[in-house]
């Protein structure tokens, strides 16, 4: 049987590129997004009752990782990118049907819009369905996963004298927790696995409408160099 799925909404998020997005939701609580619902779901009826719920599951399309040829094995970045695993043993983005799932915090419910935080979703991500998180069924204290038993260790994030005031200024303008967002995302250490960065190499990413640049004075330490308006 063939069935067509159609997005119910589109995510407008702080993440404008894939680089530096946390590998799972909740790792950056300051990562905010608005889910704009599409007709006919852009009315109060579709979200009535959702104000009783703290978190929702989003089922979405990895729209920037879609592939024609299915992969059986993938190399998850979490395992250093040099060990391959069955696609169904991982949460890799390259997967059959390109479907992702994330539990995110529901900050607000409006007709046609859901306000979200703790997202790991690229701006423009099409959402296929939204379901309330059900703690008694979805939170399993006995569950194990020896491949991913805990959140990845965070690395230290420091600021240059000029970068912190720059970030605070943009945070005020954007009315967003930008300082926290930068610290939480960079603490996940976005550099490719096993890349030992020379101290002079500068990395960058766009968050909201600002460009964040940093370097690694030591392999396990980040120093934010500047936070400036993106081109």
Give contact residues for ligand SAM (rule: CB under 6 A). Answer: 18, 21, 23-25, 62-65, 91, 93, 100-102, 120-122, 125
Looking at the Cβ atoms of 21 and 171, the one nearer to ligand SAM is 21
Looking at the Cβ atoms of 85 and 164, the one nearer to ligand SAM is 85
Do 93 and 67 touch, CB atoms closer than 8 A?
A: no
Looking at the Cβ atoms of 27 and 225, the one nearer to ligand SAM is 27
DSSP 192: P
Looking at the Cβ atoms of 91 and 158, the one nearer to ligand SAM is 91
Q: How far apart are CA 6 and CA 104, in angstroms?
A: 21
**Least distance CB 36 / ligand SAM (angstroms):** 15
**Least distance CB 115 / ligand SAM (angstroms):** 18
Looking at the Cβ atoms of 25 and 177, the one nearer to ligand SAM is 25
**Least distance CB 57 / ligand SAM (angstroms):** 10
Nearest CA-CA partner of 104 in 36, 33, 47: 33
Q: How far apart are CA 200 and CA 24, in angstroms?
A: 29
Q: How far apart are CA 172 and CA 101, in angstroms?
A: 31
C-alpha distances out from residue 105 to 1, 3, 117, 212, Å: 35, 30, 5, 25
Structure tokens of 160?
């240059």
Q: What is the DSSP string of 74-132?
A: E--GGGTTSS-EEGGGS--SS-GGGEEEEEEEEEEEETTEEEEES---BTTPEEEEEEE
**Least distance CB 43 / ligand SAM (angstroms):** 25
**Least distance CB 64 / ligand SAM (angstroms):** 4
Looking at the Cβ atoms of 13 and 166, the one nearer to ligand SAM is 13
**Least distance CB 122 / ligand SAM (angstroms):** 4
């Amino acid at each position: 049987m063939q069935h067509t799925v159609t997005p119910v909404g589109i995510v407008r998020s702080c993440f404008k590129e894939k680089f530096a997005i946390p590998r799972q939701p909740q790792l950056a609580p300051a990562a905010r997004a608005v889910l704009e619902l599409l007709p006919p779901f852009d009315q109060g009826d579709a979200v009535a009752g959702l104000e009783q719920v703290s978190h929702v599951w989003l089922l979405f399309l990895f729209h920037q990782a879609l592939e024609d040829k299915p992969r059986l094995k993938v190399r998850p970045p979490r395992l250093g990118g040099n060990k391959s695993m069955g696609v169904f043993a991982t949460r890799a983005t390259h997967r059959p049907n390109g479907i992702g799932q994330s539990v995110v915090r529901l900050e607000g419910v409006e007709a046609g819009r859901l306000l979200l935080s703790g997202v790991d979703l690229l701006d423009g991500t099409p959402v296929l369905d939204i379901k309330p998180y059900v703690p008694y069924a979805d939170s399993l204290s006995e569950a194990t996963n020896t491949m991913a038993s805990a959140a990845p260790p965070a690395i230290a994030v420091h600021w240059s004298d000029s970068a912190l005031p720059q970030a605070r200024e943009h945070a005020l303008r954007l009315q967003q927790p930008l300082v926290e967002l930068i610290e939480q995302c960079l603490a996940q250490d976005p550099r490719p696995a096993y890349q030992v960065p020379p101290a002079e190499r500068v990395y960058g990413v766009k968050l909201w409408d600002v460009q964040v640049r940093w370097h690694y004075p030591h392999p396990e330490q980040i120093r934010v160099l500047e936070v400036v308006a993106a081109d």
